[in-house]
Amino acid sequence: MTFANLYKKLHIWRLRHISEHSYMLLLSVVVGVFSGLAAVLLKTVVHLSGQMVMAFGNTHTVGGGNILTFVAPFVGILLTILFVRFIIKGDIGHGIPSVLLAISRHKGQLPPRNMYTSLVASTLTVAFGGSVGLEAPIASTGSAIGSNVGRFFHVSPRGVKLLLGCGAAGAIAGIFKAPLAGVLFTLEVLMFDMTMTTAVPLLISALSASTVAYFLMGQDVQFAFHVTEDFSLRQIPFLMVLGVFCAFSSVYFLRCTDKVESWFAKRKNWIDRWIIGGLVLGLMIFLFPPLYGEGYWALTELLNGSNDDALFVNSIFNTFRDNSWVALAILFVLILLKPIATATTIGCGGVGGTFGPSLVLGGLSGYFIAALGNQLGLPPQSTANFALVGMAGVMTGVMHAPFMGVFLIAEITGGYALMIPLLITATVTYICVQPFENHSIYARKLALQGDLMTHNKDASAWQLLDLKKLIETNFATLPEDGTLRDIVEAIKRSKRNLFPVLDTDGRFLGLIVMDDLRHLIFESDKYDTLTVKELMMTFDDKDIVHLSDSPADVVKKFQLSNRYNLIVVDDDGKYQGFLSRANTFSAYRRFISQSSEE
C-alpha cells in the first residue's frame, strides 16, 4: 500500500470516528511536542556554540577586552546572509509580523520552509554574538509547524489558524518552561480571541511543550530566581517611577529600532550593509560585552548579585570595577545601546527577534533605577526584584502585552510574590506608552499597511476586506454623445437598470436610471432628439468611490449616500464598475462569521 493510499484511508477513518473537537485537541498535543523540541534544539545549539566561541576568545584579548567579540558577529551575520541568499534564495519572513500577516491575510498558512529557516538563520546570528533574541524566530517556527500540521491533516481554515497559535504558544512555553506565558503570548501578541474553543488547545499545546522542555533540559528555568523580599506599601512610589522609566525605555526601543532598521534598508547593496553593520556591532560588543548575543548571561549575573561579572568581565573598563558610579554609567549606556545593537544586527542581515532584547532592556532598566536610588541614599530597594519587574514593564511597553509580561516573570520566579509590583509597573508603563505608540513592535508596520487583524472585528472586517473583488462590472455603458435610441438599445441587452455614461476616454460623467425613462421608452419620435447628456444624472463625490479610497472611506460614503450602488472610478476618473451596498455588507458579515472562533 502506498503512502498516499494509507494517508487517504486514515483520513476517512478519522472523519468517521473522531469528532472535529477531539481531533483538534490531539493535534494540539502534536504541535506542542514538536514546538517544544524545536525550542530545546535551538536554545541548546546556540548555548553550546556561544560557549565555544567565548572560550576560544578568552585567550585573545586587547586592553582586557575579548577581541573575538569584535570579529564573531561580523562572521555570524555573513554566514546568515549567505544562508538566506544562496541556500534559501528568498525571504524567510519577518518573524512575528509574518505570522500576523498570515493570520490576517492568508488564512493562517505559512510556507513549510518556515519550519526550519528561522531556526538555522537565527542560530548563525545569535551563536556568533548577534544582539537579538531567539524567541521570535522560535515562535515563528512553532507557528509554521502548527500551520503545516493543520494543512497536512486537512483541518478547516479556522483550525489551521488555531494550530498556528498552538505552535506559537508551545514555542514560547518551551523556551521559558512557562505554559501560561505561552498562552498569553498567543492571546495578546498574535491577538487570538479568548474563548473555550481556543483556550483549551492553546493550553494543551503549551503544557506539552513545557513538559518536553522539562524532560530534556531539567528543572532549571531561564532567570530562575527566588524572591526573598516581600512587597510593602512604601515601594509603590518607586515602582511607579520604574514604570515611567520602563515606558521611556520602551518608546526609545521602538523608535530607535525603527530608525536604525530604516537607515539600513536604504542601503541596497547587501555587502555595504554587512560591512557597516558588522563593524558597528562588533565595536559596540567589544566595548560593552553584555551586548553579546541575547544578553541573558549578563542579566542572570545581575539577578544573582554579581554585577562585577555582568558588567566588567572581558571589558576594557575592568579597572573601574570597584567604582559604583562607573557601573551605573555602564548600565545606562547599555540601556541606550541595546536597541541600536539589536536593530543593527537585523538591519545589516542578521536574523533574530526583539522579544529577548526587550526582556534584557527591561532588566537593565529595573536594575539601574534600583541601583541609582540606593546610590543616592534613598530607601534601599532590591536590585534583583526591580530587574525582574522592569523586564515585565518593558515587555508591556514594547509588545503591548501586560498580562504575558506579568505572568512570565511570575512563572520563572516560581511564585506570585512579585505580583503586585509587576501589576503596578506594567500598568503605569502601558498607560504612559499608549499615547506615543498605539501598536506593538510586531504590529505597527502591518497596521500602517492595513494588514493587521485586531481584536476589534468590526474594524478588522472593513480593514481587511478586498473591496476590489466586490466591484460589479456587468453594466452596459453609454457614450456621452448618444441619444435616447442608444439608451433603448442598451436596455434591450442589459439585465441591469443602471447605465453609466462615459466620455471618449472612459471617464465617468453621469448615470442613466431606467426607472426615470419609462415614460419616454415608447415615444419613438424622441429617440433621435433627446440626448444622453440631457437625460443623465450627475453625481456628487459622496456617491463615487475611488480605487485609492480606504475601506473606511467606502463605509463612510455608504453611510452618507442613500444609494444602493456607488460608482467606482480610478484615480484618473475612469469608470471601473459599481459597489453594491448589499454585496459589500454581505461580504462584511461573511468575514465576521469566518473570523469568529465560536
Q: State how far the Cα of 23 lies from the Cα of 397, in Å rounded to an integer.
A: 37
Percentages (nearest 5) of helix, strand, coil residues in the chain:
65, 5, 25
Domain spanning 16-217, CATH architecture = Orthogonal Bundle (1.10)
**CA dihedral angle for residue 13, residue 16, residue 21, residue 24, rounded to 10 degrees:** 10
Whether the pLDDT of residue 538 is over 50: the answer is: yes
**461-595 falls under which CATH superfamily?**
CBS-domain (3.10.580.10)
Strands 565-569 and 544-546: parallel
| Stretch 176-187: mean pLDDT | 90
Q: In this structure, which long-range contacts are made by residues 60-65, counting pairs with CB atoms below 8 Å and at least 24 apart in sequence?
A: 61/314, 62/316, 63/316, 64/314, 64/315, 64/316, 64/317, 64/318, 64/319, 65/286, 65/287, 65/289, 65/314, 65/315, 65/316
pLDDT digit string, tens, across residues 489-512: 888 888 888 889 998 888 888 888
Report the distance separating Cα 241 and Cα 428, nearest Å.
9
CATH 3.10.580.10 in the chain is located at 461-595
Cβ pair 233, 58 in contact under 8 A:
no
Residue 184 has pLDDT above 60, yes or no: yes
Alpha-carbon gap, residue 301 to 491, rounded angstroms:
82
CATH 1.10.3080.10 residue ranges for the chain: 16-217, 233-452
How confident is the model at residue 294, as a pLDDT? 86
Packed helices 236-265 and 270-287: angle between N→C axes, nearest 10 degrees: 150
Tens of pLDDT, residues 207-242: 999 999 998 887 765 666 666 677 788 889 999 999
Cell of residue 384, nine digits: 534583583
Superfamily covering domain 233-452: Clc chloride channel (1.10.3080.10)
pTM value is 0.77
Q: What is the pLDDT of residue 272?
A: 92
Distance, CA of 501 to CA of 225 (rounded, Å): 75
DSSP string, 431-448: HHHTTT-SS-TTTHHHHH
CB 138 within 8 A of CB 39: yes
Give the mean pLDDT of 346-358. 91
